[in-house]
Structure 1
Amino acid sequence: MDRIQKEIVPFSWCPELRQLMETGEPVCVSFKTDKRSGKGSEELPEKSGFLFCELVQKARMGEKFRISGQSCAPGDYVLGLSEKSPAGYYLQSGRYRDMQAAEKAALSLPRLKRKFCSVVIEPLSLNRDTFDVLILFLKPQEAMRIVQANAYSEGERTLMDTTGAASICGDCTALALERGIGLSFGCKGSRKHSGYEDFEVPLGIDFEKIEEIEEGLSKLPETTQ
């Protein structure tokens, strides 16, 4: 799929992926390198008072955001907005036995490698351009179908890589950009603050992978067959 030349017509594509979500829409995340939001003088959006995972959840329900930062310290580290390790925060929160374990966990977090000036977070129906990652919230059965679709053409396994931390920003965004798909069980922060359902599995797909996943989904037999 040509990220530059392909014209995106909202809701005229991703029909298979759209059908997998029962509540809300898939969310497009775009990392912008330009400083302008439109014509006129250069401007940068403000840092959001919400967490990245909260903004994704709000976008799922129809809102659109353009931000230069967000309000989660581990999220800043994962998104490359800060070099401060979240190890101390993780230890203080009781997530790990000791500092050695907390530091090891922090070092294992996926991190966004690209530089950007702003992030656009929006529902698929509002997207008018290419984007970087598509994030979905799925029941396990529907997440399974994406894993199966990923294996449809080459028979390759989808590797799950998570520590139950930095799920939406790390597993479903940074890791998805790196590996094509990022599957997660969520994390304490995202489940607490953004409020997606206990039974929902968050999953991110890199833009370049979507066409392949869509093809696989369209060819797979139904689960009941």
Structure 2
Amino acid sequence: MTSAMKIQINYTEAAEVLKKYLKLRGSPVAFRFATKKEEIPAGMEKIDKTIRHCSMVGLARNEGRIFYALADNHECNGGAWSLGLREITETLKTGDFYFRLGKFESAGSCKRTIDRVAHLNCGDTYATLYAPLEKTPFDPQVVLIVASPWAMLKLSQSSLFRLGGRINAEFAGIQSVCADTCAQTYLNGKINFSLGCDGSRKFSGIEDGEMVMGIPAELLPELTEALKIVAAAPGSK
């Protein structure tokens, strides 16, 4: 694998630490926005169906699948838009889409939400890449964790271990896996928790007792080292 980072990260070791100390069901997921065809590792297969981004994450997490997807592989327009693969649809832009789904009191309240959804510009992304972290053939930009609130507690403590402070999670109950934990985490370089939206819970296997977290891949070494200490601390549950 040709590294896209100056400092090498052992993704297999990082995945083992995350699995062990967070008691994960499935793998952490490596995710990358590829800006051009040449960024896709040789031999990496294109997914052979059209499904949602959150379902693709589920395939890597639960089945160990390694693949990439182009715009025409993405079934969800909202997800494809937030990931920079497709223009926003008119019904999503105006707020009518989520209004008709009964998620908001008015199209206006929906539009005020959509206007703040994190997204890449259309055309910024050529393909989206997915793999279980322990087997990733590419340098991820975001690592996705789907786990219990207890695991999220340990991750939040680990992220504050060195410098302290507060965690400011930002989400809206829609576009949880695409916008909240992939696009937003990539764009601002900060971890983000999300509750999992109706679509991701329905189509990607996120259970009622699980949440989602996006981690900038650059933070993995520091986060995993802190996790080993935090999990063994006398005050830990």
TM-score of the aligned structures, taking structure 1 as reference length: 0.88
User: Matches of 2:155 and 2:41 in 1, distance apart?
Assistant: 36
User: Matches of 1:46 and 1:64 in 2, distance apart?
Assistant: 9
1:141 alignment partner, one of 136, 144, 150: 150
* SS at structure 1 position matched to 2:192: strand
Q: How many matched pairs? A: 221
User: Matches of 2:205 and 2:13 in 1, distance apart?
Assistant: 29
**Residue 152 in structure 1 maps to residue 161 in structure 2:** yes
Q: 1:135 to 1:39 in 2, by over 3 A?
A: closer
User: Which region of structure 1 is more displaced relative to structure 2, 102-111 or 170-179?
Assistant: 170-179
* SS at structure 2 position matched to 1:121: strand
Unpaired runs of 5+ in structure 2? none
Cα pair 2:83 2:125 within 8 Å, conserved: no
Equivalent residue, structure 1, for 2:79: 75
Question: What amino acid sits opposite 1:195 in the alignment?
Answer: G
* SS at structure 2 position matched to 1:17: helix
Q: 1:198 to 1:120 in 2, by over 3 A?
A: same
User: Matches of 1:187 and 1:174 in 2, distance apart?
Assistant: 15
Q: 1:215 to 1:50 in 2, by over 3 A?
A: same
Question: What amino acid sits opposite 2:24 in the alignment?
Answer: E
Question: What amino acid sits opposite 1:201 in the alignment?
Answer: M
1:64 alignment partner, one of 66, 83, 96: 66
Equivalent residue, structure 2, for 1:27: 29
Equivalent residue, structure 1, for 2:104: 96
User: Matches of 2:183 and 2:234 in 1, distance apart?
Assistant: 31
Aligned residues: CA RMSD: 2.4
Q: What are the Cα deviations for residues 116-149 of structure 1, in whole angstroms up to 9, with x where unaligned?
A: 2111111112213311110011111110111111
* SS at structure 2 position matched to 1:137: strand
* SS at structure 2 position matched to 1:12: helix
Q: 1:222 to 1:172 in 2, by over 3 A?
A: farther
Cα pair 1:27 1:60 within 8 Å, conserved: yes
User: Matches of 1:184 and 1:108 in 2, distance apart?
Assistant: 15
User: Matches of 1:8 and 1:138 in 2, distance apart?
Assistant: 23
Q: 1:193 to 1:38 in 2, by over 3 A?
A: closer
User: Matches of 1:147 and 1:23 in 2, distance apart?
Assistant: 19
User: Matches of 1:133 and 1:152 in 2, distance apart?
Assistant: 20
Equivalent residue, structure 2, for 1:120: 129
Q: 1:164 to 1:130 in 2, by over 3 A?
A: same
* SS at structure 2 position matched to 1:66: strand
Cα deviation for residue 68 of structure 1 reads: 1.1
Cα pair 1:27 1:136 within 8 Å, conserved: yes
Question: What amino acid sits opposite 1:129 in the alignment?
Answer: F
User: Matches of 1:224 and 1:38 in 2, distance apart?
Assistant: 41
User: Matches of 2:217 and 2:35 in 1, distance apart?
Assistant: 17
Cα deviation for residue 5 of structure 1 reads: 3.5
2:117 alignment partner, one of 106, 109, 114: 109
User: Matches of 1:38 and 1:132 in 2, distance apart?
Assistant: 15
* SS at structure 2 position matched to 1:53: helix
Cα deviation for residue 14 of structure 1 reads: 4.2
* SS at structure 2 position matched to 1:13: helix
User: Identity of counterpart residues, as a percentage?
Assistant: 24
Cα pair 2:9 2:221 within 8 Å, conserved: no
Q: 1:13 to 1:155 in 2, by over 3 A?
A: same
User: Matches of 1:125 and 1:164 in 2, distance apart?
Assistant: 29
Unpaired runs of 5+ in structure 1? none
**Residue 203 in structure 1 maps to residue 208 in structure 2:** no
Cα deviation for residue 7 of structure 1 reads: 4.0
